[in-house]
Amino acid sequence: MSTTQEESRAVLADDPGELEVVRVHVPKRSVASELRAIKIVWRRELTRFASDRLRIVTQLVQPFLFLFVLGGGLQTLASGGTHGVNLKTFIYPGILCMSVMFTAMFSAASIVWDREFGFLREMMVAPVRRSSIVLGKCLGGATVATCQGIIVLAIAGLVGVPYAPTLLLGVFGLELLLAFTITAFGIMVAIRIKQMQSFMGVMQMIIMPMYFISGAMFPASGLPGWLTVLNRLDPLAYAVDPMRRLVFSHLHISAAAHHALDSGITWWGWRVPALLEAGVVLGLGIIMLAVAIWEFSAVE
Amino acid sequence: MSTTTPTAIQVNDLVKTFDEVEAVRGVNFAVATGEVFGFLGPNGAGKSTTINMLCTLLKPTSGSARVAGYDVVRQRDDVRRNIGLVFQDPTLDNYLTGTQNLKLHAELYGVESKLVEPRMRQVLKMVGLWERRDGVVGTFSGGMRRRLEIARGLMHSPRVLFLDEPTVGLDPQTRRSIWNYIRELKQREEITIFMTTHYMDEAEWCDRIAIMDHGDIVALDSPETLKAGVGTDRVTIHTDDDQATIAALRERFGIEAKVSEGAVTFGVPGGEEFVPRLFAELGVPIRAVSVSRPTLDDVFMSFTGTSIRDAEEDRGKARNRIMMQMMSGGRR
């Protein structure tokens, strides 16, 4: 009842008689208009992220749970093999990756939401390229995920990792890279899925194994043969490894500890350089973004 | 670039087939610039399919259509720049505010930055949402959201505005106010409005209407002309024995009547003069009589042989049957 009354008041509130007519014009498509479209899609992701504080908090629960509960709980068990390094410190680089990963996935899920609530249609009918929409979404998701990663980066001191400028900058760069690739991956999957429940299910099925196999929770060397193969095939391993190298290069620990915990990814005995690892992640991200754009353009 | 075309929409032999079903079977019509053109018919008649082809959201199986002077298949982008869309289902971002939704739209369409604010002010005032512009859309009522969608569809000054069932599911008062905006809009902006509806009373507001049934246009003219063409008035009589009344009407007057909404109803020329004869000769006690001028529903009935409501019920039943079959594993 009250809405009806409110509506009638709203109808009467503005006297349209004094309204001047502002005519606008929609220009032909250009690079500038595409950039504007990318920017507004990107901005929308940020606006929604910033207004959803609950999401920011809830997405910190899982990384912190792993870091402090699992890391703290297994500390005594693991102390024999860590050469005096706290287990929390060891898994910290993996936790950095984890926070970025889950947020990026969740951001990509917004395509499924947008479809369910109809908003996707508004973007689909606009006179802009589909690639601009996908790119805007991807950059938006990557930015949001990096912001979340920065929160986890901020607690480095709690697990004995120093706040060195080169470390912070390096971690930031890697987080950005990982966030971009995972968002592209998520969008690629999300475009094909019509329902949120299915998307979450698919993500759980892909993300958790990928995370465990990546070596985020254990060193990548000295694994059983089958696990070594899976680990080298896991794209996430190429983000976790440089992250760990970066963090460990700023720790004052024994050579034995370095060797045991940070022996890194090898290809047939050859230690893969960190830059190449980052390149693998970037390359995969670009490929998946291209697939996502192609898929999205094919939707009628 | 901004030369006004004499025809806003030109459609030639437009066909759309989904798998085996012919949803639209070769329709032809033209809409003049500045017209309010209504597409009328029961659900499932092919209205939304037609509108989706005109909006470049569906590719026609065959035939062609030009909107605002551009071909809907080959010049898709040009069509999109010049049309505004209000869909049957909501397409707002419920987590953003009214202004944020409109701004997003203006950015996507590349509206000149310094004109975004004044244009936004105008369209929001027009639909009476200026005061509520900073409210989050999720807190808006159904009517407010629909008005915001209309405002958004107008943000980029489209030359043709498509409204797909703009008033469906709204209370009568909100429906009326939305129609006020549409008429006012026509006076203010040089705009052509193409809309679909299955509310017969609303179609009266259109300059011209096309009646669609089973994928075909069965009639196209102004509401007045269409109604005058029916040539009969509608007589509704309440009796205690509907079947006896129908039989008596057939025997004594040669009139085919039917039961609709609990009363016997039929069309007859000069309905008011007919009533005294009815009382004198029917032979069945009459409790009440009403005579009404033809409505668009009568127009629909005269062209299709069924009322729009019955047509929808039949189709609804057919749909339910199919659903039941599918659920019981009868199909796939």
**pLDDT for the residue B312:** 67
- Two tokens, residue A1: 């009842």
A33:B110 CB<8 A = yes
Question: Closest Cα of chain A to B204: distance in Å?
Answer: 22
Q: Does domain B232-293 have CATH number 3.30.70?
A: yes
Q: Which residue has the higher pLDDT, B140 or A2?
A: B140
| Beta-sheet pairing, B192-197 with B36-40 | parallel
Spatial CA neighbour of B178 closest among B208, B149, B137? B149
Which residues partner with B64 through β-bridges?
A: B12
pLDDT reported for residue A169: 93
Q: Residue A257: which pLDDT band, with cuts at 50, 70 and 90? A: confident
**Counts of helices then strands in chain A (DSSP H, E):** 14, 2
Task: Give the number of other Cβ atoms within 10 Å of residue A53's Cβ.
Answer: 9
**Tens digits of residue pLDDT in B108-131:** 999 999 999 999 998 998 888 999
In this prediction, residue B1 carries a pLDDT of 43
- Indicate whether A121 pLDDT > 50: yes
- The ipTM is 0.82
Q: Which tens digit of pLDDT belongs to each residue from A205-241? A: 888 899 999 988 888 887 888 998 999 999 899 999 9
Closest CA to A133 of A293, A268, A20, A259: A293
pLDDT band at B321 (very low <50, low <70, confident <90, very high): low
Which of B95, B113, B124, B126 is best to mutate for the A interface (most A CBs within 10 A)?
B95
SS3 (DSSP) at A235: coil
Q: What confidence tier does B320 reach under pLDDT thresholds 50, 70, 90?
A: low
What pLDDT band is residue A10 in, cutting at 50, 70 and 90?
Answer: very low
Q: Tell me the two tokens of residue B246.
A: 């129908």
Angstrom CA distances, B201 to A3, A197, B88, B158, stand at 24, 42, 18, 27
Q: Virtual CA dihedral for A162, A166, A169, A173, nearest 10 degrees?
A: -110
**B160-164 vs B192-197, strand pairing mode:** parallel
Burial of B26 (0-12, 13-18, 19+ CB in 10 A): middle
Give the H or E element holding residue B213. strand B208-213
Instruction: Tell me the C-alpha distance between B13 and A297, whole Å.
Output: 28
Q: What pLDDT, on a 0 to 100 scale, did the predictor assign at position A18?
A: 55
Nearest to B189 among A3, A10, A21 (CB): A21
Instruction: Quickly state the pLDDT bin for B325 (edges 50, 70, 90).
Output: low
Q: Do A118 and B85 touch (CB under 8 A)?
A: no
- pLDDT of B318: 60
Structure confidence at residue B75 (pLDDT):
93
Please tell me the distance from the alpha carbon of residue A207 to that of residue A235, in angstroms, as a whole number: 11
**Between A7, A19, A28, which is nearest B143 by CB?**
A7
Tell me which chain A residues have a C-beta less than 8 angstroms from the C-beta of B103: 40
Interface contact A125-B55, CB threshold 8 A: yes
> At B252, phi and psi to the nearest 5?
-90, -30
Q: Identify the band that residue A5 occupies on the pLDDT scale cut at 50, 70 and 90.
A: very low
Q: CA–CA distance from B122 to each of A54, A214, B31, B49, B125 (Å)?
A: 35, 55, 27, 32, 5
CA B87 to CA B126: how far, in whole Å? Answer: 19
Q: Which residues of B touch A10 (CB under 8 A)?
A: 128-129, 131-132, 144
Each residue of A163-190: pLDDT tens digit?
A: 999 999 999 999 999 999 999 999 999 9
Q: What is the pLDDT of residue A177?
A: 95
pLDDT (0 to 100) of residue B323: 58
CATH code for the structural domain at B7-226:
3.40.50.300
List CB contacts of B22: < 8 A, sequence separation 6 or more.
Answer: B15, B16, B215
Compare B184 and B208 and report the one with higher pLDDT: B208
Count the alpha carbons within 13 Å of A173 in the hemisphere toward its beta carbon: 14
What do you get for the CA distance between the two ends of chain A, in Å? Answer: 41
Residue A289 confidence class, pLDDT cut points 50, 70, 90 = very high
A251 pLDDT band, cuts 50/70/90, is confident
**What is the phi/psi pair of residue B46, to 5°?**
110, 10
**B166-171 mean pLDDT:** 79
Residues of chain B in contact with residue A13, where contact means CB-CB under 8 angstroms, are 128, 130-131
Q: For chain B, what are the domain ranges?
A: 7-226, 232-293
pTM reported for the whole predicted model: 0.81
Within 8 A of A36 by CB-CB distance, chain B residues are 107, 110
Taking CB atoms and an 8 Å limit, are B112 and A24 in contact across chains? yes
| Interstrand relation of B83-86 and B160-164 (parallel, antiparallel or unpaired) | parallel
- Higher pLDDT among residues B69 and A53, named by residue: B69
Whether B137 has a pLDDT exceeding 90, the answer reads yes
The pLDDT value given to residue B178: 79
B7-226 shares its CATH topology with B232-293: no
Q: What's the mean per-residue pLDDT of chain B?
A: 85
Candidates A1, A2, A7, partner chain B, best to mutate (most B CBs within 10 A): A7
Residue of B nearest to A22 (CA): B119
| pLDDT at residue B240 in the model | 86
Burial per residue of A121-148, b for 16 or more beta-carbon CB atoms within 10 angstroms, e otherwise? bbbbbbbbbbbbbbbbbbbbbbbbbbbb
Q: How confident is the model at residue B317 (pLDDT cuts 50, 70, 90)?
A: low
